[in-house]
């Protein structure tokens, strides 16, 4: 059994290397467990996205590429996400960057928009937009949502971890208060571990203080997508 698994893994790695000549076995070994899991989980069809995820070290990207199914089914899911992403852009307006990534949606909101300094209380002016966002999530119920809090590196690592968790929970609580099922939400704080840029300047620190969402297909949507793939064959 172990020999069979090893053979399958070798074939899989060969397929990735054929598609992406710049990915070596040595570079794969340097990836951590989470990064390897993303690549192995999505298979060769999603390898490009997984590699992007491993380089960006972004949890939202990992969540998206790690849930990808690829092929015709992936296209089916992508169309579902296209419509949802356009509506979310309207909901959040200038408050967030909304990106379609692979078979999911990545949303980035600056903490300065959401919270006052050193606070985890969502600003009143943002509540209305989050309520609209919640309505859209309810219109597209076949998704799961990662809510990820991030900070800059000012203060202790322990304090920043706690603050990032509190802020992610605060945003998730607004969504739940607007009838988004808590079963769809995974709420995590990453503290200062995943900066998008350096923390040297205030501009950089501001970018690192953020709450991100990753919206991916749930099992029901994946099953629907699989049926559409079978129907096309």
pLDDT in tens, 112-153: 888 887 889 998 889 999 999 999 999 999 999 999 999 999
What ranges do the domains of the chain cover? 2-66, 71-229
Q: Which residues contact 162 (CB under 8 A, 6 or more apart)?
A: 189, 191
The answer on pLDDT for 52 being more than 70 is: no
Q: What's the rounded mean pLDDT across residues 29-58?
A: 44
Q: Which of 50, 38, 69, 85 is nearest to 224 (CA)?
A: 69
Q: What is the pLDDT of residue 230?
A: 72
Vertex 27, ends 49 and 39: CA angle to 5°? 30
Orientation angle between helical segments 2-19 and 47-56, nearest 10 degrees: 80
Q: What is the mean pLDDT of the chain?
A: 79
Q: pLDDT-based confidence at 59, cuts 50/70/90?
A: confident
Q: Would you say the pTM of this structure is higher than 0.85?
A: no
The answer on pLDDT for 232 being more than 90 is: no
The answer on pLDDT for 96 being more than 90 is: yes
> Which of the listed CATH numbers 3.30.450.20, 3.40.50.720, 3.30.1330.60, 3.30.413.10 matches domain 71-229?
3.30.1330.60
Neighbours of 129 (CB within 10 A): 20
167 and 111 Cβ atoms separated by less than 8 Å: yes
Beta strands in the chain (DSSP E): 96-101, 104-110, 143-150, 185-189, 210-217
- H runs (alpha helix) in the chain: 2-19, 25-30, 33-42, 47-56, 59-66, 71-92, 111-114, 124-139, 157-177, 202-208, 219-232
Q: Which residues contact 189 (CB under 8 A, 6 or more apart)?
A: 148, 149, 161, 162, 163, 164, 165, 166, 167, 168
Torsion angles phi and psi, residue 170, rounded to 5: -60, -45
Beta strands in 37-103 (DSSP E): 96-101
């Amino acid at each position: 059994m172990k020999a069979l698994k090893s053979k399958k893994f070798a074939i899989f790695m060969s397929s990735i290397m054929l598609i992406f000549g710049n990915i070596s076995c040595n570079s794969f070994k340097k990836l951590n467990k989470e990064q390897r899991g993303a690549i192995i989980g999505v298979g060769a069809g999603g390898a490009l996205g997984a590699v992007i995820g491993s380089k960006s070290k972004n949890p939202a990207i990992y969540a998206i590429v790690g849930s990808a199914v690829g092929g015709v089914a992936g296209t089916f899911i992508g169309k579902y996400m296209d419509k949802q992403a356009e509506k979310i852009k309207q909901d959040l307006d200038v408050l967030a960057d909304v990106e379609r990534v692979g078979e999911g949606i990545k949303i980035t909101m600056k903490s300065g928009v959401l919270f006052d300094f050193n606070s985890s209380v969502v600003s009143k002016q943002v509540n209305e937009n989050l309520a609209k966002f919640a309505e859209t999530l309810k219109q597209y119920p076949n998704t799961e949502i990662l809510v990820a809090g991030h900070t800059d590196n000012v203060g202790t690592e322990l304090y920043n971890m706690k603050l990032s968790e509190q802020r992610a929970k605060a945003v998730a609580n607004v969504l739940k208060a607007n009838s988004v099922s808590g079963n769809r939400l995974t709420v995590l704080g990453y503290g200062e571990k995943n900066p998008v840029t350096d923390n040297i300047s205030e501009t950089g620190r501001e970018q690192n203080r953020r709450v991100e969402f990753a919206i991916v297909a749930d099992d029901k949507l994946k099953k629907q997508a699989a049926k559409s793939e079978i129907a096309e064959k």
